[in-house]
Structure 1
């Protein structure tokens, strides 16, 4: 049974037709196959390389797993919006306030088709988007720069260009992993119903000043 907020759209590309589908259920995910290009490369290891992992994530409350699927049932792109892990600082902003765009991944073969924008569009079209702070963390060591043949700062600019149209802005933080490299990135979209109190807490947490 489809999720009540699930949306689907057909995309025609030079490589073939695709379906973009949000709020995919574990059973829907398990019925599909994972494209063989979601594998390790010499200097790149995809964050997720098994559909079972996607299925597990999709079973969590409020999580949106959005997929790009070929006509023959192969997953060639996926994205995840989920609550942060219990040990992450963003939990301290408030209970179920922060939601992370934790993954946007497109198979190397399909990256010229503009699928990432479609995935993000469906991902953040969430019924709770004005009650939440959506965020993304860009760590350069997770980027497939060989696949794009670009330098880290250019990849960073590409990420900013991808997220900005959806209301995301760059925010400063002293989170140690983000500060490790100048190209690392933290962006967030603050929902219109987020109170001033929560916004202040968000600022304090970004700089670890809430404890």
Structure 2
């Protein structure tokens, strides 16, 4: 299933100058980069950079970055679901999770999140995968944006739509715990019918 990761690039001309979107990047490439000090949603920036290197070193791990000069100002990660989560129950080798996406506050409003996700799925090999993203409102920086839960949900959904991810029903207790939470899914055109059916079973475990 896994293949040699061929990097894709996209240049964006913005009011901040040229921003380069690139990936999947290797741990060695990440060693040559610095990380913007506002990328601290999950852990302190330097620790986050180390975490990105760890993901990039995984066979299935994919990191797409947005760069201003030599600085990472945004990123999106793809990797297998956490072994303790329901999404790894069947150990599907073609099920990959959009694990995290973060954009530095100074560079928001440029649609970098959407562009990163769009670039991520431009690799034809991603059509072999079922991509999921679990959206929980308590992970959203609602206080920072001053948006309501539903306004933020609409933004997240639009951003995921850029990569072809659509809301999908599930009986997962965490997602069902709040109506703004959702499971976003993109099923690649090369995914076999038996894997689609297995994923349907996964979405409604014990139903």
| Deviation digits for residues 85-142 of structure 1 (CA, Å, limit 9, x no counterpart) | 2222222345312111111110011011111111111222234322210111111111
Alignment correspondent of 1:69 = 67
Aligned pair partner of 2:97 in 77, 88, 100: 100
Distance 1:47 1:125, change over 3 A: farther
1:75-114 equivalence runs, <5 A: 75-114=72-111
Distance 1:4 1:136, change over 3 A: closer
Alignment correspondent of 1:129 = 126
Aligned pair partner of 1:47 in 5, 23, 42: 42
Displacement, 1:166?
Answer: 2.7
8 Å contact from structure 2 (residues 8, 123) kept in 1: no
Alignment correspondent of 1:32 = 33
Alignment correspondent of 1:43 = none
The SS at the match of 2:197 is helix
Alignment correspondent of 1:151 = 148
The SS at the match of 2:161 is helix
| Deviation digits for residues 29-52 of structure 1 (CA, Å, limit 9, x no counterpart) | 12111111123xxxxxx1253211
Distance 1:147 1:55, change over 3 A: same
The SS at the match of 1:128 is helix
**In structure 2, what is the Cα distance between the partners aligned to 1:27 and 1:19?**
18
| Deviation digits for residues 161-202 of structure 1 (CA, Å, limit 9, x no counterpart) | 122243222111121221221111111011112222221211
C-alpha RMSD of matched pairs (Å): 1.7
Displacement, 1:64?
Answer: 1.5
Q: Give the ranges of 4+ consecutive aligned residues of structure 1 lying more than 4 Å apart after TM superposition.
A: none
Alignment correspondent of 1:188 = 185
Alignment correspondent of 1:170 = 167
Aligned pair partner of 1:57 in 35, 55, 58: 55
Q: TM-score, normalised by structure 2?
A: 0.90
Distance 1:4 1:191, change over 3 A: closer
Q: TM-score, normalised by structure 1?
A: 0.88
The SS at the match of 2:84 is coil
Structure 2, unaligned runs of 5 or more: none
Distance 1:131 1:94, change over 3 A: farther
**In structure 2, what is the Cα distance between the partners aligned to 1:93 and 1:133?**
13
